[in-house]
Structure 1
Amino acid sequence: MATKKTTTKTTIDPTEVTKELEDMVATGRKSLQDAFITGAEAAEKAFKSNTETFKTNYEKALAEGKSGFEKAVKTFEGSQFYDKDNSEAFVKAGNAAVEKSEKLSAALLDFGTDRLQEVFNVTRTIAETEDVTKVVEIQTEFARTSVQTYVTEISKLNALVVDATKSMVEPFGAQYAANLDMFSKQA
């Protein structure tokens, strides 16, 4: 004899399923946002730490380079082949090169540091933003200001390079004029 099996049909409430799904997505999104923000904060801290270390080492290297340059000049002063008048132009040009390269390097380092800090700020803002339209607006504004900042900074860097070039060439121009005058008087 066969036994009759009865099955009970359960009904699933679509609103409950939808609510559960929305809760899972919201929880997952919040977890991802938190993880992303935590990762961005860790990267930012590492970047700041490495930047400070780099700046310290760079300043130390510049100081040692200046000291070495001054020692080399003093060493040459005792040589019989040392011509004070002509060598002064090289010393002035070398000092100008060091000074201007310090300014240029500092400007480049600041530019790079500022840009990366801005990326961290925008990343954090985007991660905390719920609305996709707002995210697009943030990214668009960031792209626009990045281009404007880049153009402005390149103009500043160009002015620094031109100034550095003038400062390094100037001592040779004065020495060239003096040598030309001396040569014309002898002729």
Structure 2
Amino acid sequence: MKFFAVVSTVLTLCGLAAASPVPAPADSVNEHAQVLATLEGRQGACGVWTAATKLDGNGSPRQRYLHKQLSQVLTCDPENGCSVGESQSTSYTIGWSISTGTAVTQWITGGFDVSMSWSTGNQYTCMGGPGDSICIWQKIAHTNYKVKTGSLNQCTGFRASGRSEISSPNKNNAGGGFYCVVGTCRSQGEQYWEG
């Protein structure tokens, strides 16, 4: 204790003792706060993480097709042909989905010519002969591509936490289209995947 008192006295005599903090001028504090606010506004707060999705490499894209029956089944009478059309059909909206992997909270195109959803429409007509059972189907073309899921921070970048494969409808249903089925119809709304 005596040693500390002696050192403290020597420092005070030499003018080296710890001085009371001098408050910064108000203008200086305001300028500092404004600079910080401007930087955060430009860069985002570094402590904020948001859900993010990124393409995994080149995405390993591949084509898949969802086949869906749009119409009811119409059976022509034994004497005459018939047609099934808009009045017996329903338009369905087909959205993007996860083919495999972890949940994806942010959809991305991955640079492919895809959309979040596709509406099939129902303005098609199929003809059948006497006794035929006929229906309208649509092939909805999709692109599957691999992605990484994770979190994004403005300061430190993307941190991956999982992998998934997204299946998105092609824009304007490129590679797909409607077609008529005779004799092997299912129920309206039934579907299956090809590829």
TM-score by length of 2: 0.24
TM-score by length of 1: 0.25
- Which has a greater percent of strand? 2
The one of the two structures with greater contact order (alpha-carbon pairs below 8 A, sep at least 6) is: 1
